Every structure is written in structure tokens, then in C-alpha cells.
Amino acid sequence: MMKIWSMKKQQKDAEVAAAASGKKKFSAADLRVIKDLEHLSLSDTMELKRELDNYKNFTLAINPDEGMYKGGHFEFAFEIKPTFPYDAPKVRCTQKIYHPNIDLEGNVCLNILREDWKPVLNLNAIFVGVQYLFLEPNASDPLNKEAAEDLKHNREGFKRNVRAAMGGGTVKGESFDRVLK
């Protein structure tokens, strides 16, 4: 042990850390979230809504400027657990929308939120992933089965349904939230 310590001495003329004992410290999850939030590169189509001192809960808004969902404004609630980044954040769409990969309760099917999540990924990767769902809705990973069927077999009909749902209309008896900007 003493040998290791003398190595440390040589390594660097160590500075004295003032005792912070008793005071609250940043948790490892806090540090990682702050770091991720500091180094975001948000595109013009993304907005982050966050209370100043709350790193654990925030809202990401996606405003697609191309594709079938162009002109919409979609909000996702993020919840960061104390186990972040070991566990992925919990992400939920707060509006009722018509989308093959998002169900009517707001659950989101995105691989990096579940089976492909790794601690090396960061919040930016998730933001980009969520945005991608609006550019390329994916019919082969359905969470809203009807929407996926429509997309697969009747693309024009699907587009019409998207517009109707975004306007707050009804698709096959299900009414949706108005999400137009």
C-alpha cells in the first residue's frame, strides 16, 4: 500500500481536497446527465424544455420540417433514473398520436431505448433516434398495429390518416390530439 502511495506522489504533486464531508455531492448520474445536456447538438427541428435545476425530467419537442409528419409538434417526456446511463431514460410521448412505432398511451418503440441501449450512448443519440421516427416511420416494428398495416399496404391512405390525426381528427373511430404547430 505504501508503495502505491509513493507512486501517486510521483505521478502528480497532489493538491489537497478540502473536506466536503457533510455537504451534498453530485451523484454520478447527475454528472453524466449534466455532461450530456451540456454537449447537445440540437437541430432546428428539436427543442428542449427543461426547468433550470431539474436534470431528471425534461421534455423534448420535435418539429419535423420534412416527411409525412411535417408541420407537427410532438412532445416527449424524459425521465432519467438514478441508474443512468446504465439504464436508458424512460421516454413517453405525451400526446395521443397516430404513428406505427408509438402506441396510444405514448409508449415508444425505439431500439436504443430498450434492447440496444448501451451506456456509451448519450442523450443526443436518443434525441436523434426519436426524431428519426418521424422521418422514417417503421412498419416492421409496430406498436400501433393498425397504423403499421396502413403504412405497409396503403401508403397514401396512411399519409391522409397522419394529416387527419395531426389535425385533431378521428382515424378509424379513434380520436387524436391536435399537434399542428
Binding region for another protein (CB under 8 A): 1-5, 7-8, 11, 14-32, 34-35, 37-39, 48, 52-53, 82-83, 85-88, 101, 103, 105, 107-109, 111, 113-115, 117-120, 141-143, 145
Please state the separation of Cα 95 from the chain's center in Å: 15
The region that residue 133 occupies, defined by phi over 0 for left and psi between -120 and 50 for alpha, beta otherwise, is alpha
What Å distances lie between residue 50 and 53, 55, 108, 136, CA to CA?
Answer: 8, 8, 20, 27
CB of 54 to another protein, least distance (A): 10
Which residues make beta-bridge pairs with 172? none
Which alpha helices (DSSP H) does the chain contain, by range? Answer: 2-11, 28-38, 123-135, 145-153, 155-166
Nearer to another protein, 17 or 66 (CB): 17
CB of 11 to another protein, least distance (A): 8
CB of 49 to another protein, least distance (A): 9
Nearer to another protein, 33 or 166 (CB): 33
Q: How many CB atoms lie within 10 A of CB 102?
A: 26
Nearer to another protein, 59 or 169 (CB): 59
Nearest to 117 by CA among 79, 83, 85, 76: 85
CB of 167 to another protein, least distance (A): 26
Nearer to another protein, 72 or 142 (CB): 142
Which are the catalytic amino acids? 109
